[in-house]
Structure 1
Amino acid sequence: MTASPPPRHPLHFANFRAYLVGRLCAVLAQYSMMIVLAWQAYNIARETMTTAGASAQLGLIGLAQFLPLFFLTPITGWVADHYDRRVITRLTLTLLTTASALLAFATYEGWVSLPLIFGIAIIVGIARAFNGPAYGALAPNLVPPAILPTAIAISSVAWQTGSIIGPALGGYAYAMTPWGAYALAAALYGVALIGMLLIGPVPQPPRDTSRHPVRQMIDGFAYVKGNRLVLATITLDLFAVLLAGATALLPVYARDILHVGSAGLGHLAAAPGIGAAVTALWFSFRPMKTEVGLKMLASVILFGLSTIAFGCTAFLPRDIAVEAGVAALVVLGGADMVSVFVRQSLVQLHTPDAMRGRVSSLSQLTISASNELGEAESGFLAAMVGPVAAVIGGGIGAIIITIIWARLFPELRLARSFDPPDIGRAENSQEKPS
């Protein structure tokens, strides 16, 4: 009897299918909550504050989510490399489900307040600090090494799709009923938790007991610093998106510049998701294989140009400003999908499994810095110079950073493909396909 050929696609593995569904739902919930937290905080603040003061509250919301990640990153990466990554994600998803359900109840009962929103934002930041590295480092443990690049690519697409479609879901749900947006996030987190509970035993890298945990935490920083390709991809996204934080100011644009309200916020938040979805669909038929570094650089420049275009909608007549803003955000979402897809794939494929938790925690820190800290930077800058100048200036800054990085890190320009230096270092014992 002829033996059946080994599976050639990650979706042939039950563990990976459960992981993918869970990851997509968790990211959708996370980013839908982020936009709703910002919108609700801004509206509550506008009842007693000026536009500048309320914009500063958006900055504080981003800071509240970022600071736990900043201080906990060395610990969370080490934890993901030394303990069962499935258990870590299950515990954090339980906490996130509870936090979003609490906000849904508080909003429904009418006693939601800025202190409660800030408190939940801190809890979300703590949970994500532990959740992100465990999630990111788990994917390569679920499939054989030969199809690991495809698994990482699919996981990256799921993450980026969720991160850009999530705000649209949150905006539309809030427009229908404010408490329903948080209820939706709680439901999505619950589905993600079920997905993680369905994942069976997976390989775990051996624990290093020969050195002090602090020394091992430092190893993660040393590895990123020593691998210039990993360092370049992580830091480029950090500084470019940190500066070009147009999406962080969507509540300001929706309420006080374009005057489209919460329904219009949903349209604006959905626009990047459309661009991301079209780009992901393109990748599913025409996978990126060549000149990946140059394409990442080009996508970040396009990201900056799209940010500038969105900022300039403030100067257009109202009847075309919204359409032009949506179009700019569609292009922004597509460019962001290309950039993050390349970055996630290069980082994961060029990192040994024993280091993936710590490197993933650092990658998450830069993602959070570019998102939550970017929200803080955009909010505070908008309070000082105005939202329009903040958005346009951020787009210009992203383009300048990309040009500088192309010169500082030739390794990025010369990255031709996703091929890792040694695919064989991944584990050889994997789950059997179902």
Structure 2
Amino acid sequence: MKTQATEKKPRIPAFRSRNYRLFFLGQGISLIGSWMTQLATIWLVYHLTNSPVMLGIVGFTSQIPSFFLAPFGGVFVDRFSRHRTLIGTQILAMIQSLTLAVLALTGVIQIWHIIALSLLQGFINAVDAPARQAFVPELIERRDDLANAIAINSTMFNGARLIGPAIGGLLIAQVGAAYCFLIDGVSYIAVIAALLAMNIKSNKYQVSNANPIQKVKEGFNYAFGFPPIRAILILSALVSFLGMQYTIIVPIFAEKILQGGADTLGFLMAASGVGALSGGIYLATRGTVIGLGRLIAFGPTILGCGLIAFSLSRFLPLSLFSLFFVGLGTILQIASGNTVLQTIVDDDKRGRVMSLYTMSFLGTIPFGNLLAGFLANHIGATNTLIIDGIACILGSIFFVRKLPALRRSIRPIYEQKGILTSSGKA
């Protein structure tokens, strides 16, 4: 019989856990549908209105609930079953996508339908996103496999980001956007079935009579009172606010600047997905969280340079090459920051901290989308992305200057957990 010391470590440690394998399979299928819907939505909005401002407004409504409600979603996640919460949010998301599909297939869809349904999806995400982030540690049987699981999540997300837009662009060009919505709605069956098939231990969640606002305040004080968490949240907010604006105005580049169509849009989105997938695979193959601080620091620089190059390109292959680095830089910062947060946060505050992470990552995107629409309308899409790229590079420089002090703050936590020896670097 093999002992634990002689047992061969698998190439993907997180897959030792059955529940995580189910989660990976279900989410992987569903996320492909979600990316198809995102592409189809911005394409449909642009062709219904031909307005950059309206692109920004739809992007704003789909994400703004995450900014205001995610902290309360985190309180909910810390008190109730994350497993059951996710089953509920996935069912609601499926209904939302199928409703969008029916409206589009019958030809009655109007811009206000898209705005209303995007807002509904935003409310769902305000609870779903922190629940999903906080649920991952419950799926992993060995704590040492957690960092690998988080990296695999990023790979899964960005693999879908590659496949979804590529399929979506071809579908839109051949049969229309409605079928992207329909496939997305059906794809939720996979993740719901996977969640129902899991064997989840009954966890005792914290029961408190404290006012929810007080619990939110407690989470804020904990997160922003600890410099490493605060710095990661602020940098993630900057990357999401400015660095992700390209996702909402890329139809302008596809059609007006590069003289393409829906398939061109799909290729552009897929190119950023290839970069993000490459970064996710790299993170998944790393055996330790040590050294992630450097990736968090330099990711925005890679992103910023990619945005500037893409904004100036008038040649499709160069645009695709530039977006590869946009995706790579984004995932290095976001996924590395997520991994570090998950390894340093207290378990009883995990839901609230991850809700703040959701707020910084997803919650700031709507403001960025709104700003992108107005800037693109007044100073042009090219100038908008140049400004975004410069801001990301400046944010990277600021974080690099803070990195030595942040490492000193994290070191005691990593030493206590056995992640770091006295000679290692965080």
Q: Same fold (TM over 0.5)?
A: yes
* In structure 2, C-alpha distance between the alignment counterparts of 1:276 and 1:417, rounded to whole Å: 29
> Aligned match of 2:67 in 65, 70, 74?
70
- 1:186, distance to aligned residue in structure 2 (A): 1.3
Gap change, CA 1:155 and 1:353, over 3 Å in 2: farther
> Aligned match of 1:29 in 25, 29, 33?
33
> Aligned match of 2:316 in 315, 318, 322?
322
- 1:402, distance to aligned residue in structure 2 (A): 1.9
Q: Does 1:371 align with 2:365?
A: yes
Q: Do the aligned partners of 1:107 and 1:179 also contact (CA within 8 Å) in 2?
A: yes
- 1:247, distance to aligned residue in structure 2 (A): 2.3
Aligned to 1:38: 42
Gap change, CA 1:278 and 1:402, over 3 Å in 2: closer
* TM-score of the pair, normalised by structure 2: 0.89
Gap change, CA 1:2 and 1:330, over 3 Å in 2: closer
Deviations 1:298-344 (A, max 9, x none): 1210100000000001xx4xxxx111100100121122221122111
Worse-superposed segment, 120-129 or 16-25: 16-25
* In structure 2, C-alpha distance between the alignment counterparts of 1:43 and 1:309, rounded to whole Å: 27
Q: Do the aligned partners of 1:85 and 1:138 also contact (CA within 8 Å) in 2?
A: yes
* In structure 2, C-alpha distance between the alignment counterparts of 1:171 and 1:412, rounded to whole Å: 43
Alignment of 1:70-109 (within 5 A): 70-109=67-106
Q: Do the aligned partners of 1:165 and 1:270 also contact (CA within 8 Å) in 2?
A: yes
Aligned to 1:428: none
Q: Does 1:352 align with 2:346?
A: yes
Q: Do the aligned partners of 1:274 and 1:333 also contact (CA within 8 Å) in 2?
A: yes
Gap change, CA 1:420 and 1:194, over 3 Å in 2: farther
* In structure 2, C-alpha distance between the alignment counterparts of 1:145 and 1:230, rounded to whole Å: 20
* In structure 2, C-alpha distance between the alignment counterparts of 1:199 and 1:323, rounded to whole Å: 44
Aligned to 1:174: 172
Aligned to 1:49: none
Aligned to 2:385: 391
Deviations 1:241-276 (A, max 9, x none): 311222221111112111101011111111011112
Q: Do the aligned partners of 1:300 and 1:398 also contact (CA within 8 Å) in 2?
A: yes
Amino acid across the alignment from 1:361: S
Q: Secondary structure at the match of 1:369?
A: coil
Gap change, CA 1:345 and 1:418, over 3 Å in 2: farther
Q: Do the aligned partners of 2:75 and 2:351 also contact (CA within 8 Å) in 1?
A: yes
Amino acid across the alignment from 1:66: Q
Gap change, CA 1:43 and 1:411, over 3 Å in 2: farther
Amino acid across the alignment from 2:333: S
Q: Do the aligned partners of 2:252 and 2:381 also contact (CA within 8 Å) in 1?
A: yes
Q: Do the aligned partners of 1:406 and 1:413 also contact (CA within 8 Å) in 2?
A: no
Aligned to 1:432: none
Aligned to 2:328: 334
* In structure 1, C-alpha distance between the alignment counterparts of 2:407 and 2:249, rounded to whole Å: 32
> Aligned match of 1:55 in 28, 52, 55?
52
Aligned to 1:133: 130
Alignment of 1:114-263 (within 5 A): 114-143=111-140, 144-163=142-161, 165-177=163-175, 178-209=177-208, 211-244=210-243, 245-263=245-263
Gap change, CA 1:355 and 1:30, over 3 Å in 2: farther
Amino acid across the alignment from 2:263: A
- 1:211, distance to aligned residue in structure 2 (A): 3.1
Worse-superposed segment, 174-183 or 217-226: 174-183
Worse-superposed segment, 155-164 or 196-205: 155-164
Q: Secondary structure at the match of 2:362?
A: helix
Q: Do the aligned partners of 1:146 and 1:423 also contact (CA within 8 Å) in 2?
A: no
- 1:181, distance to aligned residue in structure 2 (A): 0.9
- 1:293, distance to aligned residue in structure 2 (A): 1.2
* In structure 1, C-alpha distance between the alignment counterparts of 2:166 and 2:93, rounded to whole Å: 20
Q: Do the aligned partners of 1:232 and 1:409 also contact (CA within 8 Å) in 2?
A: no
Q: Do the aligned partners of 1:26 and 1:188 also contact (CA within 8 Å) in 2?
A: yes
* In structure 2, C-alpha distance between the alignment counterparts of 1:260 and 1:286, rounded to whole Å: 39
- 1:16, distance to aligned residue in structure 2 (A): 1.2
Q: Do the aligned partners of 2:155 and 2:284 also contact (CA within 8 Å) in 1?
A: no
* In structure 1, C-alpha distance between the alignment counterparts of 2:164 and 2:287, rounded to whole Å: 24
* TM-score of the pair, normalised by structure 1: 0.87
Q: Determine what percentage of the aligned residue pairs are the same residue.
A: 24
* In structure 1, C-alpha distance between the alignment counterparts of 2:73 and 2:183, rounded to whole Å: 27
Q: Do the aligned partners of 1:292 and 1:416 also contact (CA within 8 Å) in 2?
A: no
- 1:398, distance to aligned residue in structure 2 (A): 1.1
* In structure 2, C-alpha distance between the alignment counterparts of 1:411 and 1:29, rounded to whole Å: 42
Gap change, CA 1:39 and 1:292, over 3 Å in 2: same
Gap change, CA 1:415 and 1:250, over 3 Å in 2: farther
Q: Does 1:13 align with 2:10?
A: no
Amino acid across the alignment from 1:31: W
Worse-superposed segment, 293-302 or 118-127: 293-302
Aligned to 1:430: none
Gap change, CA 1:416 and 1:333, over 3 Å in 2: farther
* In structure 2, C-alpha distance between the alignment counterparts of 1:363 and 1:212, rounded to whole Å: 22
> Aligned match of 1:343 in 321, 326, 337?
337
Q: Do the aligned partners of 1:276 and 1:334 also contact (CA within 8 Å) in 2?
A: yes
Amino acid across the alignment from 2:210: R
Pairwise CA RMSD of aligned residues?
Answer: 2.6
Gap change, CA 1:212 and 1:241, over 3 Å in 2: closer
* In structure 2, C-alpha distance between the alignment counterparts of 1:413 and 1:368, rounded to whole Å: 26
Q: Secondary structure at the match of 1:188?
A: helix
- 1:123, distance to aligned residue in structure 2 (A): 0.8
* In structure 1, C-alpha distance between the alignment counterparts of 2:89 and 2:338, rounded to whole Å: 22
